[in-house]
Amino acid sequence: MSQLFKISLPDGSTRDMAPGSTPADVAAAIGPGLAKAALAARIDGELVDLTQPFSGDAALALVTARDEADALDLARHDFAHVLAEAVQGLFPGTQITFGPATDDGFYYDVMAPASRDPFGMDDLPVIEEAMRAIIRADKPLRREVWSRQALIEKWTSEGESFKAEWAAGLPEGEELSVYWSGDDWLDMCRGPHLPSTGKLDPQAFKLMRVAGAYWRGDQNNAQLTRIYGTGWLNKKQLDAHLTRLEEAAKRDHRKLGQEMDLFHLQAEAHGSVFWHPKGYVIYRALEDYMRRAIHGAGYEEIKTPQVMDVRQWEQSGHWGKYAENMFAVPDIVPDVESGAPTVAADAQWMAIKPMNCPAHVLVFKQGIKSYRDLPMRLYENGCCHRNEAHGALHGIMRVRQFTQDDAHIFCREDQVVEEVQAFCALADRVYKDFGFKYAIKLALRPDKRFGSDADWDKAENELRDAVVKAGLATEEYGWAELPGEGAFYAPKLEWHLTDAIGRTWQVGTIQSDRVLPERLDASYIGEDGERHRPVMLHRAIFGAYERFIGILIEEYAGRFPVWLAPVQAVVATIVSDADGYAEEVMEALKAAGIRAESDLRNEKINYKVREHSLAKIPHLLVVGKREADEGTVAVRTLGAEYQKVMPLAEAIAMLQGEATPPDLR
């Protein structure tokens, strides 16, 4: 008799299974309920099909819908395959390429047959119905291994030129996996997959849009149609997601920014923001807030050049890792004959800074530093430029010119944990002032990196220890470690904010870096009289001001708290007889430091109320003849059902309280 394999389960129990057994067999042995609920399995941590045979003793965890992360990835992967199958069934001659799962759904790149136009939005309802038919058919999803040559021949014979090209580019002799959907359709795929299409909920997906895409992402290649969908485990999840999308559309910072006259973007400075007076009020309020925060935490503010010699970026390592995202120019001189601008023969290349850190090292290196001078905390509202791809730009969330609330802490090794812990407390206070909850993550070393493993060990442990000591390494704060997601020079802590409609934004960060001080030869004199390398902590809380303002616009849906609102109050008259009193009220508000405007137009008060409500003005102070006689104002607060009549002095005191930034209250 063959030796049995010992299969260990998460509850600590074991099952003895015969060679050739699969996770599906274990699920069936445990009970019919689990056999029905199982979607896939993890064997020794690797996600696999339920039909994957055990190769020996193993740890097994069966994946069900309760394991939401794995279940969603599987479902979205399968929705993509069902989409491709449906398109080819409806439109014979369609070529398919590839389609992965995404953060909230899936897509598939296809090429329509030559006999018709590329797929458009009008095709989506028909494709959805065909997908539902495939799901309801409960077609088994079965894995097979084919030779590379067999796949090339199949794809070539069926006119699938993209698939054939892909297979031909794989190593000689490699065996490739394909998945059958029933007995009549297959696709090349690593897997894993659900046991059958019927494990998908036919009411839990929706095709959202189409877009152009290029084969292998190269604009010199054939243009394809990318069909996007969103996919979930059940209809309730789908409905909740669609509701979030509707709410997000209402909160879109680009739409609100235009309606509220905060900023604009245009082709003449593509990827840079034109701040209007009202938008710049918000910007300056955030700058003032952050300056108070960092000065209270022992930082010194500096200002560094926008442009530096490329050789500096080569020495720091950024030129080798980041040159394609940098703007660089050589010395330009007039041509002797034509006078036209030309590159000098001995041109010195200069680069506009994409980040502030090398410049801060140069400031640190001015003069001899002692161990007694550390920690040194240097802060800059540093303007940076990055040559982001045109398609990656998104309103003011992703731009080419931005300003960071950037700081670098130069410290001794024995100070790192304490400094990171202090930063955690500072970030916590800032985010809570804006009403955000957050999760904190530790991004660990990537495969391609600078520095020794010993230095990475130290840096990762320092960040981890600081979070533990700060009491943040808990489920409440979403603590998690992210393998491979650190920067090329340092691990980092990341702060992920959750907004009013449940979206997350990665904003703040602190990185523990021993690489840049070494590459740029930064040092201090230790207590022993010898030169030592400082540890350099890169840190930001807002990240980019532009992006943080975009997040705030969407978080508040344009209804800024009074201290941030560009216009904090409008004085509106009911009758022209109150114009003189309205001007007195305005003068009193301005004297009290309130950002106020007046509306003396000959319009009905209901019209004025509606207009200023749409403009998201926090308080409307309505005055008529009675208010003028009594020295009062009728205060209409945005979102409140009723107005409140109060003496002018009381209204001003209320507004002053709300207009005071939270850190000064």
User: How many other CB atoms are found less than 10 A from the CB of residue 657?
Assistant: 11
Tell me the chain's radius of gyration from C-alpha atoms.
Answer: 31
User: How many other CB atoms are found less than 10 A from the CB of residue 239?
Assistant: 14
120, 286, 501, 577, 640 from 545: Cα distances, Å:
38, 8, 21, 44, 31
Helix (H/G/I), strand (E/B), else coil: 36: helix
Mean residue pLDDT of the chain comes to 94
Q: What is the pLDDT of residue 2?
A: 60
Residue 17 has pLDDT above 80, yes or no: yes
Q: Label residue 516 by pLDDT band (50, 70, 90).
A: very high
User: How many other CB atoms are found less than 10 A from the CB of residue 169?
Assistant: 9
95 touches 159 (CB < 8 A): yes
Q: What is the pLDDT of residue 336?
A: 66
61 touches 40 (CB < 8 A): no
Alpha carbons 587 and 589: distance in angstroms, whole number: 5
Alpha carbons 421 and 369: distance in angstroms, whole number: 24
Task: State the DSSP string of 537-553.
Answer: EEEEEEEEHHHHHHHHH
Which residues fall within 8 angstroms of residue 67, CB to CB, at 6 or more apart? none
Q: What is the pLDDT of residue 630?
A: 96
> pLDDT of 299-349, one tens digit each?
999 999 999 998 899 898 888 878 888 998 887 767 767 777 777 767 788
Residue 625 has pLDDT above 60, yes or no: yes
Q: Label residue 164 by pLDDT band (50, 70, 90).
A: very high
Domains delineated in the chain: 5-64 (3.10.20.30), 70-246 (3.30.980.10), 277-306+355-546 (3.30.930.10), 569-664 (3.40.50.800)
Q: What is the pLDDT of residue 329?
A: 82
8 touches 14 (CB < 8 A): yes
> pLDDT of 247-262, one tens digit each?
999 999 999 999 999 9
> pLDDT of 629-656, one tens digit each?
999 999 999 989 889 999 999 999 999 9
178 touches 146 (CB < 8 A): yes
Q: What is the pLDDT of residue 178?
A: 94
Catalytic residue IDs = 357, 386, 404, 406, 408, 492, 538
Residue 505 has pLDDT above 90, yes or no: yes
Q: What is the pLDDT of residue 588?
A: 97
Residue 1 has pLDDT above 50, yes or no: no
- Residue entry with tokens 């299409």: 197
515 touches 397 (CB < 8 A): no
Q: Label residue 501 by pLDDT band (50, 70, 90).
A: confident
> pLDDT of 341-370, one tens digit each?
777 767 788 899 999 999 999 999 999 999
Percent of residues, the chain, with pLDDT higher than 70: 99
